[in-house]
Chain A
């Protein structure tokens, strides 16, 4: 039986990420990428039964579908969710996604589109804005970034604003304060949000063995310490067991460089 001293950083991040959906009630929960998807599944199977998940293709399921080759496992479908319906859900606001941007700035604006100053001839073409613009002004969004660094958390503004943040100079005239809703940002170092004064970034918890100064040094914009800043709690034995069931091929081991243990001082 697993003990809570035996977990990886990825497993700690999944448990911390699941918290994004606490209190959301019934809505479509979309975790894009392995760790966010596992986090949504874990939340659904523990404290957030109202979350509605898909199989990663076009169907709703009440039991999260394990990642990767399925063997004898057969998903049990409970609804149909083609992309057309996903947009209807997005635009209604009844969704909370967790995504992995390439760049994030102090306003919580993110970029997955392209790098460099010239959009017509970018230094690096990335994915394009995909659904980020619409997601960001329709429903709550949380983030997971596997490599907390100044390349990801940039000093200035992101090169392309794929998802809208709290840079109100960019907002349309007359937009209300609820135009954008950001949840938590989970990284390999910490959990933070944009709920400080004037939507400043503030650290909610530091992962075991990580100092605030180390997080600040890896961030291109100033961070605040939230009231009650604490150590990110380790996943419980039950959570670790559920994560391992939802990820039988250990895809999560490939997400954070070196797959470090959850308590890095113990490494």
Chain B
């Protein structure tokens, strides 16, 4: 099989109004090359589901988002994503703010083809009142406990960034934490993967390496070679986040035409132009992975 496609070809498969899940976690392993291609497109009215980082702020800034479903939206060292904050304070997007774990449970329910997952998480908190569609169920067993029926979060598409992939859709994801990329993939009708390294085959005689394989290839719709495609977020173990770039991006949110200026400076061209505009491939590959 050959699942290889270009960024443009993948974005051409997406439609206005879709519910799109994005893998990664805050400023970590985000499929930014694909996000940038969406930012260059005329897609709109999207429902975005994420443990959000800069991709959520950028999609909000560009007016692509109708609704956000999130566990958080943060740049980590810059705790509150600046364009997310602006969109929230302007009431510009509808939101479903979830406990981080409820997002896990909603995606897992979708992947398991059940309508909801039962949990205590959310009970007693504003998650219940801010998501008035959420209902509780009573345990049918002797305990009679009342629990939240967390609705399945079905995705039309999931976008995830991996470390290595091949044309069959075999993937490896390196780094200390898989986050929930596997759940995003299982919850989605179509899964679009960008990859740091695109190889003929990921095949290896070392079975330990296969622990880095998070999803079966039947889940993968397309693979897009996108070296450096997670910049300015971390791509373990290829490069760290670009803190200077994230700071400049965050600062742009405080300026009148900040987003347009950011777009014109970095995004208006193609990916090769983007990489040159942020300092080139060698600069990105030398970005240190932070410790905490």
Residue in B79, B97, B124, B126 whose CB lies within 8 Å of A172: B124
Contacts of B97 in A (CB 8 A): 113, 119, 128-129
Complex interface bits, A97-125 against B, C-beta within 8 A gives 1, otherwise 0: 00000000000000001100011111111
The interface residues of chain B lying within 8 Å CB-to-CB of A124 are 89
Tell me, yes or no, whether A130 is within 8 Å of chain B by CB.
yes
Pick from A119, A122, A162, A174: contact of B125, CB under 8 Å: A162
Contacts of B130 in A (CB 8 A): 119, 160
A58 close to B177 (CB less than 8 A): yes
A122 x B89 contact (CB < 8 A): yes
- The 8 Å CB contact of A132, one of B85, B99, B176, is B99
Q: Is the CB of A134 within 8 A of B122?
A: yes
A69 at the binding interface (Cβ < 8 Å): yes
Chain A nearest CB, measured from B185 CB (Å)? 14
Contact assessment for B101 and A87 in the assembled complex, using a CB-CB cutoff below 8 Å: yes
- A202 located at the interface, meaning its Cβ lies under 8 Å from any Cβ of chain B in the complex: no
A30 within 8 A of B: no
Do B127 and A172 touch (CB < 8 A)? no
Whether A59 contacts B125 in the complex (CB less than 8 A), given A130-B71, A137-B120, comes out as no
- Looking at the complex, which of A3-11, A163-171, A183-191, A227-235 is the stretch in contact with chain B? A163-171
A214 within 8 A of B: no
> Which listed residue, A121, A128, A129, A161, touches B89 by the CB 8 Å rule?
A121
Most buried by B among A90, A126, A130, A180: A130
Other-chain contact of A175, B74, B124, B179 (Cβ < 8 Å): B124
Question: For the complex, what is the distance from the CA of A126 to the CA of B50, rounded to whole Å?
Answer: 17
Number of interface residues of A (CB under 8 A): 48
State A70–B101 Cα separation when bound (angstroms): 31
B121 neighbours in A (Cβ, 8 Å): 91, 133-134, 137-138
- Distance from B248 Cβ to chain A, minimum over Cβ atoms (Å): 21
- Partner of A87 from B104, B123, B177 at Cβ < 8 Å: B104
A119–B126 touching, CB < 8 Å: yes
Given contacts A113-B97, A172-B146, whether A83 and B25 have CB atoms under 8 Å apart is yes
Chain B 89-110 interface mask (CB, 8 Å, partner A; 1/0): 1110011011111101000000
For B146, give its contact among A83, A125, A126, A174 (CB under 8 Å): A174
Q: Is residue A1 contacting chain B, with contact meaning CB distance below 8 A?
A: no
A121-B89, A125-B80 in contact; A134/B145 too (CB < 8 A)? Answer: no
Q: Does A56 contact B (CB under 8 A)?
A: yes
Shortest CB-to-CB span from B80 to chain A, Å, is: 6
- Residue from A58, A119, A128, A171 within 8 A of B71 (CB atoms): A128
Of chain A, the residue at the smallest CB distance from B100 is A131
Q: Give CA–CA (A174, B137) in the complex, Å.
A: 13
Within 8 A of A (CB), among B117-152: 119-127, 130, 136, 144-147
Describe A's contact surface by its main secondary structure.
loop
| CB within 8 Å of B: which A77-99 residues | 82-84, 87, 90-91
User: Chain A 54-75 against B: per-residue CB contact (8 Å), 1 yes, 0 no?
Assistant: 0111110000000001100000
Q: Give the docked Cα–Cα distance between A161 and B122 (Å).
A: 10
> Which among A125, A128, A131, A132 has the highest number of chain B CB atoms within 10 Å?
A128
Q: Given that A59-B176, A127-B79 are contacting pairs, would A122 and B122 also be in contact in the complex, using a CB cutoff of 8 Å?
A: no
B249-292 to A contact mask, C-beta < 8 Å, 1/0: 00000000000000000000000000000000000000000011
Instruction: Name A115's closest neighbour in chain B (CB-CB).
Output: B89
Are the CB atoms of B178 and A82 closer together than 8 Å?
yes
Is A179 an interface residue when CB atoms closer than 8 A count as contact?
yes
Task: Tell me how far the C-beta of B130 lies from the nearest C-beta in chain A, rounded to whole angstroms.
Answer: 5
Please provide the chain B residues from 51 to 80 with a CB less than 8 Å away from any CB of chain A in the complex. 70-74, 79-80
Name the 6 nearest CB pairs between A and B, nearest first: A121-B91, A56-B292, A125-B88, A164-B124, A134-B121, A58-B176
Listed in ascending order, the chain B residues whose CB lies under 8 Å from chain A are 25, 70-74, 79-80, 84-85, 88-91, 94-95, 97-102, 104, 119-127, 130, 136, 144-147, 176-180, 291-292
User: Could you list 27 A-B pairs, sorted by A, with CB under 8 Å?
Assistant: A56-B292, A82-B177, A83-B177, A83-B179, A90-B101, A91-B101, A91-B121, A113-B97, A119-B126, A121-B90, A124-B89, A125-B80, A125-B89, A127-B79, A128-B70, A128-B73, A128-B97, A133-B123, A134-B102, A136-B125, A160-B130, A161-B126, A163-B125, A171-B123, A171-B124, A174-B146, A175-B123
Given A134-B102, A172-B147, 20 more contacts at CB 8 Å? Answer: A55-B291, A83-B180, A118-B91, A119-B126, A120-B95, A125-B89, A127-B72, A129-B99, A130-B99, A131-B99, A133-B122, A133-B124, A134-B100, A134-B101, A134-B119, A138-B120, A161-B125, A164-B123, A171-B124, A172-B124
